[in-house]
Structure 1
């Protein structure tokens, strides 16, 4: 039940984010749905390819595909004057998707008996893969390449899970880490945390 809820939150958040970006880039309805679908599902595809795992199960999303399509449709048919103002708030659904998919990626790696490095790698790829795909398709500079801390929070989730500090079999621990990663991402954005070492020398 825990992962069902997290998957719904992740898919709807990233589908929302992808659709908002598409509409702000003046995509038509086809382009909006393509970008909205690619954002929540690309991370899993990239992860499986990188870890040499068949991607068949990624296409068997069932109700999650309908969650994504429904979210995209709602965004697309909202008044465009509303949608255009939502892009500035896209950090929030993006943070939700990043957190949920990072946890899902780490859990996936554990279930496939990957070592610590594989767990961290899976968390990063699953967490940031969708956002990178969205930004590349929209011809934007990917968030993961900005000075803002982005992929680090996915790596942190993978590390905590891989080292056993967080038990993904425990609902309350999983939700706690989910919320912590969201807060870390949002705070790092609003407080201007970054990884540019040349700026650290000025402090």
Structure 2
């Protein structure tokens, strides 16, 4: 049940995030739907490829596709004046999607009996894959490649689940809230990883 709930939360969050980016880039309605769907399911597709699950497994998620389409439609019909606060709402939805999908990906890999390293990779790819594809299609520098702390929180989720520190549903939901909160704090207070600059200005 926890896996399904996190899948729904992540799907809605990333579908909305992709749709908002598409509208900010002034894509037409088809572009908005495509970017929203790709953002919502891109990470899962990459994860499936690397941990040995047929990509076709995505097509069995009919309910999630319907939820994504409804979410994109709702955000497309949302009043424009409320969507102008993209930096605030977009980052929040992105944080929710990152957390939900990182935990969901880690749970998925754990259930398949994969080692800790594979659980961490599954958490990271599921959490950041859709966002990377979204940013590349929108011709933006992916968030994960900036100095701002992003993928680290997916790694944290993968380690905690891989080591079976969080197993029960309430522990997983608590981890979801913590990882989401850490991501929000990291962009609010501009926490950064070390950067070595080679350019001379």
Q: TM-score range by the shorter chain?
A: over 0.9
Deviation at 1:85, TM superposition (A): 2.7
What aligned pairs does 1:14-163 form with structure 2 within 5 A after superposition? 14-163=14-163
Q: Is the 8 A contact 1:23 1:84 kept in 2?
A: no
Give the aligned length.
197
Q: Is the 8 A contact 1:20 1:84 kept in 2?
A: no
Deviation at 1:5, TM superposition (A): 2.0
> What residue number does 1:179 align with?
177
**Matched residue SS, 2:190:** coil
Unaligned runs of 5+ in 1: none
Q: What is the alpha-carbon distance in structure 1 between the residues aligned to residue 162 and residue 51 of structure 2? A: 16
Confirm whether residue 6 of structure 1 aligns to residue 6 of structure 2.
Answer: yes
Cα shift readout 1:78-135 (whole Å, capped 9, x = no counterpart): 2333323334421101000000000110011011110010000000000000111110
Q: What is the alpha-carbon distance in structure 2 between the residues aligned to residue 13 and residue 41 of structure 1? A: 11
CA RMSD of aligned residues (A): 1.4
Q: Is the 8 A contact 1:23 1:83 kept in 2?
A: no
TM-score normalised to the size of structure 2? Answer: 0.93
Q: Is the 8 A contact 2:119 2:162 kept in 1?
A: yes
Q: What is the alpha-carbon distance in structure 2 between the residues aligned to residue 128 and residue 189 of structure 1? A: 15
Cα shift readout 1:34-65 (whole Å, capped 9, x = no counterpart): 00001110001011112232112112112111
> Of the candidates 173, 192, 195, which is equivalent to residue 194 of structure 1?
192
Q: What is the alpha-carbon distance in structure 2 between the residues aligned to residue 2 and residue 88 of structure 1? A: 27
Cα shift readout 1:138-180 (whole Å, capped 9, x = no counterpart): 111100001110000000000011112111xx11001010001
Q: Is the 8 A contact 1:43 1:127 kept in 2?
A: yes
Q: What is the alpha-carbon distance in structure 2 between the residues aligned to residue 65 and residue 75 of structure 1? A: 15
